[in-house]
């Protein structure tokens, strides 16, 4: 998980700083700006692919549905439980990583003090492995130990599942996020320490008959879901377009080009992209993102952010991602962000490296199906 939420993630760059008070519905980066921390934060942290870092919902009998909460269009997370009796945690269901980990009672980092922690001594089914675990992210890193226990996701009960218990969480990013931990849904070769993925183990033990899951993201606080073993036609319109995976690590695909105002702006001749639920924005190489920003009329401010005229959003062009010969328009209403405290903003951002990252901005527009059995991604117009 690259955790490309950085423009909205609060971080204090000075030592020993306390949690920033946030008003309901307020963007986290606005708190940074008021504290004079935003510019330093943006200069220190860059998006880096590869170094990243209960709610009533009727479960259909043939699938397992995990409802997600949406915090400020920045974090989508659901609730899982670990242990016997169960201890509950909020986790990001992240297609850009492959490990499950949560904070533990052994962790003294400030991030762990602000989140739920797992206590092995309170679970009768916990087993220690004696193994250590380190996961490095662009925004910090997690160090801990590996244990096994019963993990419950939606209606699925996964026994003897290996998972990480953080003992140290370095980086202010983890202090301020709403969720406790991460449940990775990428390919196995992304998993640290060769740990079997939660999803793979559920398939191997026939908890899931179909090696597939799908994701619908809403801009509302509730209504978003991860559907294991199923495709729900009520979340999209039209047909599903299938795209083969080009590399089995991230959910990586080949993209043909990116078009604005009927002109190929970038990715001319093709490029690589990943569909990543753990990324809030759409990110790409700096020169390419700069071309898009210019084409849609966004202007950079002193903080490095790109602003747009709020009154002009309805007239701004679509940004069209061409994938496998199919055009996927993303309208300005989807790639811009309204802000009560200042100008509206563009939700495109630079990333280190050549991979494009189609994060939540894209997934909110296109219902996404992750088909491990056939190594492909399905995209359909979300409702």
Q: Which positions are catalytic?
A: 94, 276
Our CA dihedral for 222, 323, 251, 58, rounded to 10 degrees, sits at 30
Bridge partner list, 274:
252, 357
Helix boundaries (H) for 272-325: 286-296
Q: How far apart are the first and last CA of the chain?
A: 26
Q: How far, in whole angstroms, is CA 95 from its chain's centroid?
A: 7
Burial classification of residue 118, based on how many CB atoms lie within 10 Å of its CB (0-12 exposed, 13-18 middle, 19 or more buried): buried
Angle 232-236-237 (CA atoms, 0-180°, nearest 5)? 125
Q: Is the dihedral of CA 339, 341, 345, 347 positive or negative?
A: negative
CB atoms within 10 A of CB 58: 6
Cα 93 versus chain centre, distance: 7
Cα–Cα distance, 134 to 141 (Å, whole number): 7
Residue 105, helix vs strand vs coil: coil
What is each CA distance from 293 to 82, 209, 301, 349, in whole angstroms? Answer: 44, 44, 12, 9
H-run or E-run covering 262: none
């Amino acid at each position: 998980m690259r955790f490309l939420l950085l423009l909205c993630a609060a971080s204090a760059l000075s030592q020993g700083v306390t949690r920033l008070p946030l008003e309901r519905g307020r963007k986290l980066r606005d708190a940074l700006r008021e504290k004079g921390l935003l510019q330093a934060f943006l200069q220190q942290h860059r998006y880096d692919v590869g170094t990243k870092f209960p709610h009533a919902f009727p479960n259909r009998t043939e699938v397992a549905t995990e409802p997600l909460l949406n915090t400020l269009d920045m974090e989508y997370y659901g609730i899982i439980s670990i242990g016997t009796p169960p201890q509950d945690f909020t986790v990001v269901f992240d297609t850009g990583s492959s490990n499950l980990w949560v904070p533990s009672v052994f962790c003294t980092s400030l991030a762990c003090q602000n989140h739920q922690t797992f206590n092995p001594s309170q679970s009768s089914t916990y087993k220690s492995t004696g193994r250590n675990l380190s996961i490095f992210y662009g925004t910090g890193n997690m160090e801990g130990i590996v244990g096994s226990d019963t993990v419950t996701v939606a209606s699925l009960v996964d026994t003897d599942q290996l998972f990480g218990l953080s003992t140290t969480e370095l980086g202010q990013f983890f202090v301020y996020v709403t969720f406790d931990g991460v449940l990775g849904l990428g390919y196995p070769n992304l998993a640290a320490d060769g740990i079997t993925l939660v999803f793979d183990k559920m398939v191997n033990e026939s908890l899931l008959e179909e090696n597939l899951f799908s994701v619908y993201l809403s801009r509302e606080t509730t209504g978003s879901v991860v559907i294991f073993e199923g495709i729900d036609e009520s979340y999209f319109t039209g047909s599903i377009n299938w795209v083969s995976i080009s590399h089995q690590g991230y959910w990586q695909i080949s993209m043909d080009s990116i078009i604005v105002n009927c002109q190929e702006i970038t990715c001319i001749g093709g490029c690589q992209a990943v569909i990543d639920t753990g990324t809030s924005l759409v990110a790409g190489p700096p020169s390419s993102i700069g071309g898009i920003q210019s084409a849609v009329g966004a202007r950079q401010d002193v903080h490095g952010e790109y602003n747009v005229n709020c009154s002009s959003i309805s007239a701004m062009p679509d940004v069209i991602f061409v994938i496998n010969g199919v055009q996927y328009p993303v309208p300005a209403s989807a790639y811009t962000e309204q802000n009560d405290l200042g100008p509206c903003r563009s939700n495109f951002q630079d990333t280190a490296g050549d991979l494009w990252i189609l994060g939540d901005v894209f997934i909110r527009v296109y219902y996404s199906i992750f088909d491990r059995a056939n190594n492909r991604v399905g995209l359909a117009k979300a409702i």
